[in-house]
Structure formats: C-alpha cells, structure tokens
Homo-oligomer: A and B are copies of this chain.
Amino acid sequence: MSSIPTQLSPGIEIAALRNKCSTCSMHELCLPVGLDVDDMRRLDSVITKRRRVLKGEMLFRMGERFTNLYAVRVGHFKTTHIDSTGLEQVTGFQMAGELLGFDAIATESHHCNAVALEDSEVCELPFSRIEDLSREIPNLQRHFHRMMSQEITREQGLMLMLGAMRAEQRLAAFLVNLATRYARRGYSAKAFQLRMTREEIGSYLGLTIESISRLLTRFRKQGLIAVAHKEIVLLDIEGLKTLISTTNNSESLSIKPCD
C-alpha cells in the first residue's frame, strides 16, 4: 500500500503494458470515466507520454506556457502560489487519478507551481488534442466538464472553510477529506500517511505550523486520532465529522478533557 515503485525501470516495455488508460488502475476515477473500449483506445492514442517527477521536483511552474494538463498516475503533488510579496501558499494537494492544470486554460499560462511530494508519475494530456477528441466523443466531453466542475466545487468548499471555520474545524475537515479520497481509491480511510509537512497543511488551511501541531496533539489527546510523524490513524471519524459542524460557541463545556 505504501509502496511506490522506487525504481521504475528502463521503461518502454513497461510503458507498452501499463501506460494505457484502459489498463490503468485509476481509469474509474480519472479522465476516461464512462468511455467504452473503443473510445478508450482513441484516448490512449492521444495520451502517449508519461513523466516521472521526483520528490521535490516541479511538474510545471507559475508563468510557464500551458500546453498540457496532467493526470497523477502515481504519487502525490501539491500546487502552490507565490504572491507579489514572495509569500508561498499551498492551493491544493493532488493524488492518483486527479488532474492538474485547469487554472491555466484561461490564459494559457500556469497560475501555480506543481511540486511532487514524493516520487511520482503523471500522464501528459495535450490539451488541444483533448479538446479535439472531446468534440468527437461526447462522453469524454461530458466527463471532462464534470472534472472541471468538480475542481470548482472543491475550491468552493475550501473557500467556505477558510471563510467560516475555525482552526479546529478546518483541520478536521481536511483529515476527513483525505480519508474520503483514499477510500475511493481502495485504500484505508482510517490509516494513511500524510505526504505533506505540517507547514504545508497549515499553508493550505490558512493556519500556522504551530497551530497544526497543537491541533494534532489535541485531537490525539481527545482520542480522535493517533499520529506518529507522518503516519496518522483516524480513530473516530464520526467524532471528527461532528467537530466540523460544531458551531463556535456551542457547549465546548461537556468534554474538553486534557489540557
């Protein structure tokens, strides 16, 4: 489960075997959702390039000309934005089956950096060819629109979080969101590895690293989670979900055991 191919070896043959949407384990989540075998083959003919991105490397950077979307095949990414003052902020975390680069379509230049959080692999989706193909394959068009819309929804969720939730709620929501996404990929929703640092979580949630650290400690003391370094176990997902929708001033009286 935690195994990422540490050595993706001299690849052509492997490519021929595995580098197809039809055989990719993510095809139930990724762009090819809803395509029949024939259409999937046509999509395969457009998505020919795979790219490995080592931990810490950039897949694309702000300002770079946009030509491809990317689908995460293996691994995890973060997207970051650097504002005029030089402050870097995390705008998202992407895992296998998720697409990167939607924000670049409008201006044809990337608005964020995409950085691998571990050794990862992506499929290159030449955007204009995807557009061509989605004019011929309504199911592809439809699902492509769905995925863009999903990205809009995701960001709205984050907006709502940043606008209205307190620190505790934000972190709880973040953990539950990760859990959900892992579950859909067939991984455990309860136990997983945080691929990002506390600082990156904080940046994403609009909080400081110290707050993240303190909150994790508090959640642990409350028996909601178990954490050791980057390994985390959600011991009480329902409890976390309750936290999320707990209104500010509501009876934090009854239980607030330690500390």
Contact = CB atoms under 8 A, between A and B. Distances in A.
A29 interface: no
A148 interface: yes
A35 to B, nearest CB: 16
Contacts of A203: 163
B206 A149 contact: no
A242 to B, nearest CB: 11
Contacts of A135: 134-136, 138, 141
Interface stretch (A10-18, A47-55, A83-91): A83-91
A159 to B, nearest CB: 5
Interface stretch (A150-158, A192-200, A232-240): A150-158
Interface residues of A, number: 45
A164 B87 contact: yes
A65 interface: no
A231 interface: no
B156 A152 contact: no
Interface stretch (A20-28, A99-107, A118-126, A179-187): A99-107
A255 B131 CA distance: 53
B146 A91 contact: no
Interface of A: 81, 83-85, 87, 89, 91, 102-107, 111-112, 131, 134-136, 138, 141-142, 145-153, 155-156, 158-160, 162-164, 203-206, 245, 247
* Pairs of residues from A and B, 6 with the lowest C-beta to C-beta distance, nearest first: A163-B206, A105-B149, A162-B162, A106-B149, A155-B155, A106-B150
25 contacts: A81-B160, A83-B160, A83-B245, A87-B164, A89-B160, A89-B163, A89-B164, A91-B156, A102-B148, A102-B149, A103-B152, A104-B149, A105-B148, A106-B146, A106-B152, A131-B142, A131-B145, A134-B135, A148-B149, A148-B152, A155-B159, A158-B159, A162-B162, A162-B163, A163-B203
